Amino acid sequence: MSKDIFLTNSFGNKKEKFVPIDSKMIGMYVCGPTVYDDPHIGNARPLVVFDILFKILKSKFNNSDVNYVRNITDVDDKIITSSKEKKISISELTNKITKNFHEDCKYLFCEKPTDEPKATENINLMIEMISDLISKGFAYEKNNHVYFEVKKFNDYGKLSNKNLDELVAGSRVEFSKNKKNQADFVLWKPSKDGEPSWFSPWGKGRPGWHLECSAMSKKYLKNEFDIHGGGRDLIFPHHENEIAQSRCANDTKSFAKYWIHNGFITMSNEKMAKSQGNILKIKDFKNIISGQVLRLALINTHYRQPLDWNDELIKNCQNTLDKWYAVYTKTDKMKSIPDEILEPLFDDINTPGYITKLHELYSLAVKGDDSDKKLFNQACNFIGLLLEDKEKWNSYKKANIKISEKEILNKINDRNNARKNKEFELADKIRNELSENGILIEDKDDKTIWKYK
């Protein structure tokens, strides 16, 4: 019997059965990067979490019926500031960071979304939405700025489960004399000389960040859709503001049916953030370890919980994959995996539970036949693991070995001489030195063979 999918909806904060609005057009919108700097490990978590949710949805519904939209914000204050700091043009910066972002996605074995719209390609839609909000009385213009008037939307604060006063007091709301109320948020603002700008009924300027996602989600997924995702830090003000402006512009009682938010990544239990000076870029790990190690580390904890990033986590994930690669076999194009294996994933994307299943399947594969190995490999492939061949996987080990092959052979020769002379303490010391350098040795048929750990 087919298993149902359950997701924890941030709107109400409870686990609910996933029932699509239209099973022939399932829509998922996830807030993508603001391309002002290279993605860090904190950015990688939603990439991997929602990539897995995309796979789960496709396993239950026809592939062509699942639409995953992830935007690229390529106009924003952070981008303007970063381009000045780096002394390059905005287009050069956004093109470079977008390219790096795509390379990082590939490194993490994330599938491409169905659509990936850029904010700058959809400015006309944003201007239309602002005009609708003004004509309906939800927005106002002052001094070439346009603001959404939050008091006109009675449900404001329901996603974050706070009243208006609490939200304003607990957030970095931008102060402006142009606002009727300081909780009001910007839909359009004028651009300074040299900044990106577009013509509008309110003068040359650019859209507010919140509006961009409302316009692009409407274009690709219509006025109401199934799932909206992102990190917990986006609940307020970004997602709260999206709901307000979209529902008011589109005359709907809902915007997204299910709101899914992943927890923060911490380092020594402090949130990973630029202000903390503890940012780890995804690119810092390339050529050192496989992206599969990062991917496994990112799903080692349930997506809703905080994940503490540390060397021990990386080491454990590296060792797990190393063990699993012992039964690696190339599989055919993804075949249907039994629901009883995928069951943890259907239960609110429970990746730790699924990893436990993979350990069980691995044990069967070690003892079993080719069909057991294939099932294990396909189950790994489903969540983006064991996708590199064994040679590629081993190449990362070789890249990190600081000792040459000539030195390895010399040490083995020294060890063999020590054993002949019954200097067993010295022989053990040499073995340990090789092991610390990532080399395993084995005595077999009067010969000593070596291999990378």
Residue 356: phi and psi, rounded to 5, are -60, -40
Tokens of 117: 């719209």
For 373-395, what is the mean pLDDT? 94
Q: Give the closest residue to 205 by CA, choosing from 189, 186, 221.
A: 189
The total number of structural domains that make up the chain: 3
Q: Domain of 239: which CATH number?
A: 3.40.50.620
pLDDT of residue 2: 58
Q: Are both 376 and 422 inside the same structural domain?
A: no
Q: How far apart are CA 172 and CA 445, in angstroms?
A: 71
Q: Say whether pLDDT at 288 is over 50.
A: yes
pLDDT at 1 over 60: no
Q: Residue 438 belongs to what domain range?
A: 401-452
Residues forming beta bridges with residue 444, ordered by sequence position: 447
Report yes or no on 282 lying in a domain.
no
pLDDT tens column, 204-226? 999 999 999 999 999 999 999 99
pTM: 0.89
The answer on 306 and 193 residing in a single domain is: no
In a domain, residue 278? The reply is: no
Give pLDDT, residue 393.
92
Asked if residue 137 and residue 71 are part of one domain, the reply reads yes
Same domain for 325 and 260, yes or no, is: no
The answer on 100 and 26 residing in a single domain is yes
- 339 lies in the same domain as 421: no
pLDDT in tens, 56-70: 999 999 889 999 999
Residue 443 pLDDT: 81
Write down how long the chain is. Answer: 453
pLDDT for 295 equals: 98
Percent of the chain with pLDDT over 70: 95
Does residue 403 carry a pLDDT above 70?
A: yes
According to DSSP, residue 195 is labeled S
How confident is the model at residue 453, as a pLDDT?
Answer: 60
Q: Which residues contact 312 (CB under 8 A, 6 or more apart)?
A: none
Using pLDDT thresholds of 50, 70 and 90, give the confidence band for residue 275.
low
